[in-house]
Chain A
């Protein structure tokens, strides 16, 4: 009995497999290998911290992509939920000394509750109106963070000394088989494990019944309502899930940086997240991760090699017509414009096209 061709799909279950084809299985193995080995090869604290921040951004971006990419609800309030997660961590993980899994869940729960409070607004508002309402959240949040002294430390900010240990394994001070690892190495594994978990969670949500409902709401919410999708419920649900994931990202951010202040949760951060999912690709999980890596690592790359790029000023009194920062800003803006105009599906779209090319070779066009 000859076996069918490896790419033949004969039922829905096969079609929904995450890593169905042999090639994608190989890809998974390579990704896991890279994840395990990378911190041992790149031991430099600078690059590790860039990758850790990128991983934290990826978690937050997956959350925003669920809301904006899958469910079509524009939100400029993402920074608010990220900030909330960081402060919950400062309280739960720092002051109350809860163990790592608990404070992470506490932050996620806090985010979900806040998202649930904001959710009902989405029932009556769409598009630009929703964008403006969520924009208000950022400013409301900033006022709260500055004035709820007991909870946030007010303007001076607050230190976050939440420990990251699961039982005997302390990620901030790992030692396996007598080999000790630096804080950044441990954190890299921790953060990217969570990126994997959150990605799996959202992917599973997206490829099942609720995911199809979300996409129906995104494309035509009234039509979805007519065929029996309870749009209101899914909108609020998407808001809550997305906020919970954002708070998880904030919790990681706070405990990694060990100090947070109200100056960090501003509109710029929200816009950065929107840029990440546009550059990565709206409505894809993989794209959120690619976008976070791209937007997070590119400025660091430019900064690192600024001394070899001609015409860039690296120190005070140096010659050169553009500072590293200005160059980064210009590239950032240019990227968003170019992606929106030339590749609206983002990096994930480029990746898909490359994949399709090889899949359909020699009949690719």
Chain B
């Protein structure tokens, strides 16, 4: 008897304790006036904190590290000039996601209460995993991938021309200046995931626009050891052009296998398939002879593009040990877009999550100073991403190993490509 009474008392006490520990109330941002926002989550009145969710370790760290370094250099330079609106310094809170969606969700939960927005969120699976929470929390994040899925998402701030645009422009180049005809055997080799599907979708759109057919498509799993089968199939189909959607580790093996098999079509590679180490490797001669990389911006250290000169100067000043890198430039551009949003939010006097989202709809067109195509922002359903690409030749003499073949052009077909809201 007595024991049950004690137990009941304990249970009651527990329930009482539990009943006063709710954490379900959202805190609102403090009031502020134009040009002088009030304190809010991630902003203490002097410093604006931004989150970075990036694979800083593991196999994708080769992309995550330079990208984050690019974010950092842009903001270091901004802080040296006084900061956002000349008076608010920006600080980055970096978290490692290991390129794993569930880790990204945990890390997002870890820092969401300390930042006003995320200036980098790397990895398509991670971005998709965090997206429902971004929507629920009214948070803005800048994804570090070129998926077309992001264009119509309210809570995402993409930069650059999507992978589909790269593929279409590459085909346009092949059929006009590249000496190809629409009767040529055009083939694709794509990674079996979202990224690969994006490249494939671009090529198929181009096929409809230019009236050619895709003769053969080889899909492969990232991390495959041996590509002899796929290369054999492409050679057997008599491919004259192969469009490759891959990441550096796989691309190196694929081109290595092709070189050994004496299979020498024209290759066009999507931007993430190249990395600077290739220029110093054994496959460099093969790449020089047969491979074109389709990306954005210009070659490293190109003085004719003002944005590039500025970026190289800043890198030398704030991150002298950083090697020239395509991903560094990408991170630098991301930070530029996020800064435009912050400037606007300060101007509107509201750095709360609602204020940031509102600002992201009102920044209009952001120019990337020739490092990337200009992006027309606005409300998510009217955004217009850039349709331009730059083609590069492999040239070991250049920093980063790429030399510009055709700078910043946009094809008719790429202009017509429609971005629809993803059905997620």
The main secondary structure of chain A at its interface with chain B is helix
Please tell me if the beta carbons of B101 and A173 are within 8 angstroms of each other in the complex: no
Q: Which residues of chain B from 73 to 109 have a CB within 8 Å of any chain A CB? A: 92, 94, 96, 98, 100-102, 105-107, 109
B110 contacts the other chain (CB 8 A): yes
Bound-state Cα–Cα, A29 to B3, Å: 12
Binds A, one of B13-21, B227-235, B257-265: B13-21
Please tell me if the beta carbons of A45 and B113 are within 8 angstroms of each other in the complex: yes
Please tell me if the beta carbons of B21 and A315 are within 8 angstroms of each other in the complex: no
Given that A40-B20, A180-B24 are contacting pairs, would A155 and B106 also be in contact in the complex, using a CB cutoff of 8 Å? no
Q: Which residues of A contact B100 (CB under 8 A)?
A: 264
Q: Which residues of chain B from 316 to 358 have a CB within 8 Å of any chain A CB? A: 319, 321-322
Please tell me if the beta carbons of A43 and B23 are within 8 angstroms of each other in the complex: yes
Please tell me if the beta carbons of A49 and B18 are within 8 angstroms of each other in the complex: no
Bound-state Cα–Cα, A181 to B98, Å: 30
Please tell me if the beta carbons of B96 and A155 are within 8 angstroms of each other in the complex: no
Q: Which residues of chain A from 299 to 354 have a CB within 8 Å of any chain B CB? A: 300, 303-304, 314-317, 323-326
Q: Which residues of chain A from 24 to 54 have a CB within 8 Å of any chain B CB? A: 29, 32-33, 36-37, 39-41, 43, 45-46, 48-50, 53
Bound-state Cα–Cα, A257 to B61, Å: 24
Given that A29-B10, A316-B72 are contacting pairs, would A261 and B101 also be in contact in the complex, using a CB cutoff of 8 Å? yes
Q: Which residues of A contact B72 (CB under 8 A)?
A: 316-317
Bound-state Cα–Cα, A185 to B136, Å: 16
Given that A156-B194, A258-B132, A316-B65 are contacting pairs, would A325 and B113 also be in contact in the complex, using a CB cutoff of 8 Å? no
Please tell me if the beta carbons of A159 and B424 are within 8 angstroms of each other in the complex: yes
The main secondary structure of chain B at its interface with chain A is helix
Given that A156-B128, A259-B128 are contacting pairs, would A303 and B21 also be in contact in the complex, using a CB cutoff of 8 Å? no
How would residues 157 to 198 of chain A score, 1 for a CB under 8 Å from any chain B CB and 0 otherwise?
111010000000000011111011111110000000000000
The residues of B with any CB-CB pair to A shorter than 8 Å are 7, 10, 14-15, 17-25, 56-58, 61, 65, 68-69, 72, 92, 94, 96, 98, 100-102, 105-107, 109-113, 125, 128-129, 131-133, 136, 149, 192-194, 196-197, 319, 321-322, 422, 424
Selected A-B contacts with CB under 8 Å, 17 pairs? A33-B10, A36-B17, A40-B22, A43-B23, A49-B106, A146-B193, A155-B194, A155-B196, A175-B22, A179-B19, A182-B23, A257-B101, A259-B101, A316-B72, A317-B72, A323-B96, A324-B57
The residues of A with any CB-CB pair to B shorter than 8 Å are 29, 32-33, 36-37, 39-41, 43, 45-46, 48-50, 53, 146, 154-159, 161, 173-177, 179-185, 253, 257-264, 300, 303-304, 314-317, 323-326
